[in-house]
């Protein structure tokens, strides 16, 4: 146990008093792997990526073709589109934004940034004072990992 640290590593994240970032050593091994060749390999990759979904804007949209590939109704085939989606998620994992930690005293802002058949995406923001300067930051990207129900598909926001 260590006390008085400025930042620490916990559960694949680098945590400081003000922010939460993906610990890149955790991601490095996944980035070296080739495109999955089986459903099980794809499910493993998607499970890993999903753990960090709060860092990836429009996660559901960006991974929808990969999740469909895991369906037992489809033949497992890596198309150009799916390869691009796989590479995009790998890129996003290494270039994910540093999220700010919420301040319960300050107001929150919710931005709905996309609504499509693959999912509903939103971002929770907050304006905080850091080093005497006002700064807006993302607390997390939310709802992006859920496919919208048939009830809401086609509705506009």
Per-residue pLDDT tens for 60-96?
Answer: 889 989 999 998 888 899 999 999 999 999 999 999 8
CA–CA dist 53, 121 (Å, integer): 11
What is the CA 104 to chain-centroid distance, rounded?
23
Confidence grade of residue 154 (pLDDT, cut at 50, 70, 90): low
Residue 37 resides in a domain: yes
Paired sense of beta strands 13-16 and 19-22, if any: antiparallel
Average pLDDT, stretch 119-135? 82
Residues 71 and 128 in one domain: no
What's the CA dihedral at 135, 12, 70, 141 to 10 degrees?
A: -10
**Domain that residue 68 falls in:** 7-94
Residues 69 and 88 in one domain: yes
Structure confidence at residue 155 (pLDDT): 52
CB 107 within 8 A of CB 83: no
Structure confidence at residue 118 (pLDDT): 58
The overall pTM is greater than 0.85: no
Structure confidence at residue 150 (pLDDT): 46
Residues 20 and 86 in one domain: yes
138 pairs with which residues across the strands? 125
């Amino acid at each position: 146990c260590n006390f008085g640290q400025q930042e620490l590593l916990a559960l694949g994240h680098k945590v400081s008093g003000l922010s939460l970032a993906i610990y890149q050593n955790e991601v490095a091994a996944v980035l070296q792997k080739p495109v999955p060749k089986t459903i099980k390999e794809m499910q493993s990759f998607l499970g890993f990526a999903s753990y960090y979904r709060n860092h990836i804007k429009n996660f559901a949209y960006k991974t929808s073709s990969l999740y469909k590939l895991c369906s037992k109704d489809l033949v497992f085939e890596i198309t150009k589109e799916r390869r691009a989606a796989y590479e995009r998620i790998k890129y996003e994992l290494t270039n994910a934004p540093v999220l700010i930690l919420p301040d319960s005293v300050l107001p929150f802002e919710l931005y709905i940034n996309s609504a499509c058949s693959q999912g509903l995406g939103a971002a929770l923001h907050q304006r905080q004072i850091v080093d005497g300067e006002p700064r807006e930051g993302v607390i997390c990207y939310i709802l992006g990992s859920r496919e919208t129900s048939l009830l809401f598909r086609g509705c506009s926001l």
